[in-house]
Amino acid sequence: PKDSTIVYSISLGPDLVALPNIVGINFVESEKRLLEAGFVVGEVSGRKSYRMKSASVKGVAVKNGEMLPRGSIIDMVFP
């Protein structure tokens, strides 16, 4: 309508953060690093007492250092 105010904001896109170095270390340390970086721990399979074999987001493998949206759910696979 005439004489009304329009409010808008400009997004810079998702808040991306690097996936910490979690593959190859134990569950406790992996979980700690994920939470500190702003990620969410998802499904955990295998024996947590072993070193992590791989990580994924929505079924897609991710690597240490990969840039992902903050708050992503990270699934962890242990042998």
* Surface-to-core class of residue 56, CB atoms within 10 Å of its CB (0-12 exposed, 13-18 middle, 19+ buried): middle
Domain hosting residue 37, numbered range: 26-77
Total number of domains in the chain: 1
pLDDT in tens, 44-75: 999 998 999 999 999 999 999 999 999 999 99
What pTM does this model have?
0.80
Determine what percent of the chain falls in helix, strand and coil, rounding each to the nearest 5. Answer: 15, 30, 55
- The pLDDT of residue 43 is 96
Residue 32 lies in a domain: yes
